[in-house]
């Protein structure tokens, strides 16, 4: 049985503390980052507002042509592992989703981590980081923010056609104890609606968190806070019954892969 007897107020305070901790941690980290004259030695990909469109086009080309590398025998093992894990979650989704649909134990958590609130967190992190970077004249922070925004945009652009094609129903469209079967191709084909395979919140949160954790990883607690918040945001998509667990697991994995292996490497 799922138990989470924490009041809405306490969850809201916890979310605020975690968000504030991340912003404070980044501000502290920025004070120890290389100066503007040293950013030419930045090992990650060069990025600027003007260059973002070209970067996104190059990223999308790499993403959509990825199956070609499989034909040539590259990256086979990671793809098999991810596909196997996703298949296992999808196979059990019909039975694992109903307990979250029928319980009220996550009421406070769901209100604090609502779809609107979590979307604001994901979008607000790169924006806040860029603003701080401008105020502090910190080129490293500005680049980090733009890379996080690029990772989010890449992940979202891939998510839209996936949702449109798979048209997976939301768990909240079912009632009772399940099983919640026949979810694929029976929901809306509108990719801008909630639900669908896979979770935009999960992929976006993990993409942004991966960039932050990588760029500020020398401060050991930054990855814990970044991935912790991304995990809470992703989990909220399950507890609110907007997504099946399989949608969230695959979305989180895709967010990490896109950020770490498409966006961050230098070109």
Mean pLDDT by 10 residues, the chain (267 residues): 40 45 49 43 78 93 90 87 93 92 91 92 93 92 95 94 92 86 87 83 96 93 95 95 94 95 88
Amino acid 121: pLDDT? 92
**Two structure tokens written together for 196:** 């669908």
**CA distances for 95 relative to 100, 166, 182, 218, angstroms:** 10, 20, 12, 41
User: Long-range contacts: 33-36, Cβ < 8 Å, 24+?
Assistant: 33/138, 33/140, 33/141, 34/140, 36/137, 36/138, 36/139
Residue 55 three-state SS? helix
- Return the CA Rg of the chain: 19
- Contact predicate 33/140, CB 8 Å: yes
For residue 183, the 8-state DSSP code is -
Report yes or no: 207 and 121 within 8 Å, Cβ to Cβ.
Answer: no
The phi, psi pair for 169, rounded to 5°, reads: -70, 155
Q: Which residue is listed with tokens 């969230």?
A: 248
Question: Which pLDDT belongs to residue 109?
Answer: 94
pLDDT of residue 22: 52
Q: What is the pLDDT of residue 17?
A: 41
**pLDDT the model gives residue 42:** 64
DSSP symbol at 197: S
């Amino acid at each position: 049985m799922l138990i989470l007897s924490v009041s809405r107020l306490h969850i809201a305070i916890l979310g605020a503390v975690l968000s504030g901790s991340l912003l404070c941690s980044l501000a502290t980290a920025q004070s120890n980052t290389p100066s503007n004259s040293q950013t030419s030695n930045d090992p990650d990909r060069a990025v600027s507002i003007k260059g973002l469109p070209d970067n996104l086009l190059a990223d999308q080309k790499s993403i959509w042509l990825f199956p070609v590398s499989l034909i040539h025998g590259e990256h086979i093992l990671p793809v098999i592992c991810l596909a196997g894990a996703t298949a296992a979650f999808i196979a059990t989704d019909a039975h694992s989703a109903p307990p979250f649909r029928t319980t009220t134990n996550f009421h406070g958590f769901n209100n604090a981590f609502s779809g609107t609130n979590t979307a604001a967190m994901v979008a607000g992190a790169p924006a806040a980081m860029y603003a701080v970077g401008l105020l502090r004249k910190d080129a490293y922070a500005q680049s980090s923010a733009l890379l996080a925004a690029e990772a989010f945009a890449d992940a979202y652009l891939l998510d839209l056609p996936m949702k449109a094609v798979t048209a997976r129903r939301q768990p909240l469209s079912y009632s009772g104890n399940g099983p919640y079967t026949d979810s694929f191709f029976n929901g809306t084909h509108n990719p801008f609606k909630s639900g669908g395979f896979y979770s935009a919140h999960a992929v976006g949160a993990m993409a942004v968190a991966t960039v932050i954790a990588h760029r500020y990883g020398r401060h050991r607690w930054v990855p814990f806070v970044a991935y912790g918040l991304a995990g809470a945001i992703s989990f909220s998509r399950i507890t609110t019954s907007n997504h099946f667990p399989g949608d969230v697991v695959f979305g989180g994995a895709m967010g990490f892969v896109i950020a770490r292996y498409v966006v961050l490497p230098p070109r």
